[in-house]
Structure 1
Amino acid sequence: MENFRLRVFRAVAERSSFRKASEALHLSQPAVSQHIHALEEELGIRLFDRSGTRTSPTPAGKLLLKYAERSARVLDEAREALVRLNGEVSGELRLGASTTVAQYILPRMLGAFLKDNPRVTFSVVSGNTEEIVALLLRESIVLGMIEGPSLSREVHVEKFLDDQIVLIVPAGHEWVGASRVPLHALTGVPLLLREEGSGSRRVVEQALRKAGLRLNELQIRMELDSTEAIVSGVEAGLGLGFVSGWAIGKAFRLGTVIPIEVEHLEIRRELTLIRKLGPGPEGVAAAFERFALAQKEHAPRARR
């Protein structure tokens, strides 16, 4: 029901990238550029600043985005209201997920949800925890699924899964085979950590401080923007890394990384579903929220 050029415009604006928008919409990057150019020609104004490495909306683009998002919400409500006449759950859900959730947990959840709700479509944006919270507050997404605690008081938070953060080392590392290593040993090895703003990074830092290890004692060799990048870096021998237990299943089975237990350090966290404070969601958002909160699985314990 939404004007397709506006949908393309929203995808570019929300992701700050023509490439990421093309991937999300299953279009070629030139096709995305053509739609944006046609919209700019129609309106007679430039909507994006393409200078540098980042694409950002111009003042006119930011203004249009507010109206485009409002229009999309109204059309979603209309579609859901029409479908409810037949007693079905249908419509598009704009969902945001932090990177570990998006890569390792959400695909399974969406598959299970869609079996019972085949008329639902999803628009999913991934980013670190801070980015997902910001998208929620801007109402670019309706629900968010994050790994770390939200620092905003404007969101409603509920746990949907447990997770355990584990330290992984490459196969052949000198610590492989040890029952556990002392906490102070972490100061003598290069570490690969997630970037600032990541929920995983925040949880790891809090746990290390609580265990009595000062962050300035660590040898942080590299900061990476995804869990997958950390696992690959550990496999390549670049350092050791802290990652979600959900993320190491394949690498563990292949024997390329090994989880190691550290004395006096156990890092557990809650994966949470977030929405803006206020009345609860309706329609497809309410159905997915009920489904997510009913999950009974627990994070896999790392095998040693």
Structure 2
Amino acid sequence: MDINFELYKVFYHAAKSNSFSDAAAKLHVSQSAISQSIKNLEDKTGSQLFFRKTREIKLTSEGELLFKHIEQAYNFIKTAESKLLESQNLESGEIRIGVSDTICKYYLIDPIDRFIKKHPKVKIQVINRTSHQIQDILKEGIIDFGIVTLPIHIKGITIENYKSVEDIFVASNKFIELKGRQISLKELSKYPLLMLDRNSSTRRNIDSFLQKKGLNLLPEIELESIDLLLEFARIGLGIAHVLKESADFLIDKNELFEVRLKEKLTLRKLGIITMKNVPLSRTSYEFINFLMDKD
């Protein structure tokens, strides 16, 4: 089918807003022009794309299928336009980053703050997702790059090692008998444990380490937030497995202490991922260099 891209553009905005009038306002044309464009597209595709009511429109199943692909293509096109409009002196541009909330809080906020102070006209959008979800939205063109827990094995994605981070076990004085001495993982397994959800990269990392040791720690509580794990540990509900930096403040306040292990946990590696065949914008390239201390 030889279909004018403008028809797809009209379709995208109408489907995105569920309104012909909103699409008309966005594209600065009349509502009748929008209706006619959609009619032309339906004729060319041989499919009804919208259910039309008096004031509302809704995608048909064929419309949903088309929108899924058009949205992805539109995201890539808008990214390309944004890259072309960027100036060489970083006086404009946008950076879209996919990262988990924990990594963002402890490793990204400070670099973002320093980068924006140097380049105040650059816009930075942060999208919080799990490592697995970040891979998905990278492939869909929603972000420029992501920061994830390694390893990952996905075709078409370039991986650059970013940094290693340390996870530790922490407890409140309810478990004072553990303070100041080293214990084995086998002894630790006898205590109530607080860990991230088993689908998280952090949890998979520790589970893999334990399996190599022939152990399987079953947590008392599983959560999706490290901040909640820390709060539950602080009130004595168990011993939490968390990112070291996340616990430093509570350790300094003597509200928690690190549970020392005889078996040293392996460091968790973070990586910066990009699409192999999609060039980075200059702003994203410069920000990644900034993160890697290449600036």
Give the equivalent residue in structure 2 for 1:70. 73
Equivalent residue, structure 1, for 2:144:
142
Q: Give me the whole-angstrom Cα distance separating, in 2, the residues matched to 1:103 and 1:87.
A: 28
Q: Which residue of 1 aligns with 2:270?
A: 271
Counterpart in 1 of 2:211?
Answer: 209
Contact 1:207 1:265 in 2 (8 A): no
Please identify, of 161-170 and 60-69, the stretch whose mean Cα deviation from structure 2 is larger.
60-69
Q: CA deviation at 1:39?
A: 6.8
| TM-score normalized by the length of structure 2 | 0.74
Structure 1 length as normaliser, TM-score? 0.72
Alpha-carbon contact 1:46-1:61 (below 8 Å) kept: no
1:233-259 Cα deviation digits (max 9, x unpaired):
211222111111121122222222211
Q: Could you give the per-residue CA deviations for residues 49-105 of structure 1, whole angstroms, max 9, x where no partner exists? A: xxxxxxxxx774564354344334434433443342x63352222210023212222
Q: Contact 1:191–1:220 at 8 Å: present in 2 too?
A: yes
Alignment of 1:34-45 (within 5 A): 36=17, 38=19, 44=52, 45=57
Match status 1:286 vs 2:285: yes
Query: What per-residue deviation string (whole Å, max 9, x for no partner) do you get for residues 27-54 of structure 1?
Result: xxxxxxxxx5547985754369xxxxxx
Q: Would the alpha carbon gap of residues 223 and 123 (structure 1) be closer, same or farther in structure 2, given more than 3 Å must change?
A: same
| Structure 2 residue aligned with 1:133 | 135
| CA distance 1:196–1:176, shift in 2 (3 Å) | closer
For residues 231 and 40 of structure 1, what CA distance do their matches in structure 2 show? 49
- Tell me if structure 2 keeps the 8 A contact 1:147–1:200: yes
- Residue of structure 2 equivalent to 1:166: 168
Q: What SS class does the counterpart of residue 73 from structure 2 fall into? A: helix
Do the aligned residues in 2 keep the contact of 1:160 with 1:295 (CA within 8 Å)? no
1:110 is matched with 112
Q: Which amino acid letter does the alignment assign opposite residue 215 of structure 2?
A: R
Which residues of structure 2 form unaligned runs of 5+? 1-8, 24-49
Unmatched segments (≥5 aa) in structure 1: 11-35, 49-57, 297-304
Deviations 1:213-250 (A, max 9, x none): 421xx232121112112111211222111111121122
Secondary structure at the counterpart of residue 267 of structure 2: strand
The code of the aligned residue for 1:239 comes to: G
1:155 aligns with 2:157: yes
**What whole-Å deviation, never above 9, does each CA across 1:5-46 have from its counterpart, x for those lacking one?**
x89x98xxxxxxxxxxxxxxxxxxxxxxxxx55479857543
Q: Distance in 2 between matches of 1:172 and 1:75?
A: 55
Aligned positions of 1:181-200 closer than 5 A = 181-200=183-202
> Counterpart in 1 of 2:124?
122
Query: Could you tell me which amino acid in structure 2 is paired with residue 174 of structure 1?
Result: I
* Residue of structure 1 equivalent to 2:181: 179
Counterparts of 1:206 and 1:177, CA distance in 2 = 26
Instruction: Please identify the structure whose Cα radius of gyration is greater.
Output: 2
**Aligned-partner residue type, residue 67 of structure 1:** I
In 2, Cα distance between equivalents of 1:161 and 1:266: 16
CA contact (8 A) 1:76 1:92 kept: no
Count how many residue pairs are aligned between Structure 1 and Structure 2: 253
Root-mean-square deviation (Å): 3.0
